[in-house]
Amino acid sequence: MSFSDKVASLMARPGQDPNAKDDVPWYLRYAGRGVGTVGGIIAIILGLVETLSLITMNISCLIGGILQVLAGFTLICFEAPCCCMFLDYVQNVSEWIDNRPYWNKAIIYVCISIPPVIFCTGLSSIFGGGLIFLTGVIYGMMALGKKATVEEMRANAQAGDQRGVPNANPPTSNTTSTNMRSNLVNNAQPMSFTGPPMFDSNV
């Protein structure tokens, strides 16, 4: 059993299909889950530290700390429901969010990471919200899909070169080329000259 298989068995949820249903690289999947779990815990701790600003009567940082604790708790519920086994509905919510596309998670995480920083721009809110934002960025990269292989990119570039071979009938000045090797001169549009403005001598 390889190291990646051991990590997969540790991070798998109960009843989860061991075979991935998409072509997302395994390291991105584990990075999203790991950064989300650790980032959620750190965001909750730093949010609780921010709520101590109640002593100095800093209400905006108190609101920012509460929002950061809620954002971290949301992240923990989505990414590591085993940490919230005392809540009955967390497993159902986590399974529902796991069945959604990755870009849904990315938007949710990016949106919940911004309000704490807006209310209290401090090191703890920036770091805690930054970890939540980083989790959203990772899921955004997962939503883009797997990068093409070198052979596929080379084949696409060669196909583009073959489409760009000049033919006997060059394009007229009114047509534009869609070839990836086209330059500005071939795609230049004709210029028109209207002449100098005419002045009325009666004015």
Torsion on CA atoms 97, 43, 36, 103, rounded to nearest 10? 50
Domain boundaries, the chain: 32-144
Residue 140 class from Cβ within 10 Å (0-12 exposed, 13-18 middle, 19+ buried)? middle
19 band by pLDDT with thresholds 50, 70 and 90: very low
126 has pLDDT over 70: yes
- Residues 86-95 have pLDDT tens digits of 777 777 777 8
Nearest alpha carbon to residue 47 among 124, 122, 120: 124
Environment class of residue 198 by beta-carbon count within 10 Å: exposed (0-12), middle (13-18) or buried (19+)?
A: exposed
Tokens matching residue 79 = 């990414």
d(CA 78, CA 91): 8
Q: Which of 31-35, 61-65, 108-112, 198-202 has the lowest mean pLDDT?
A: 198-202
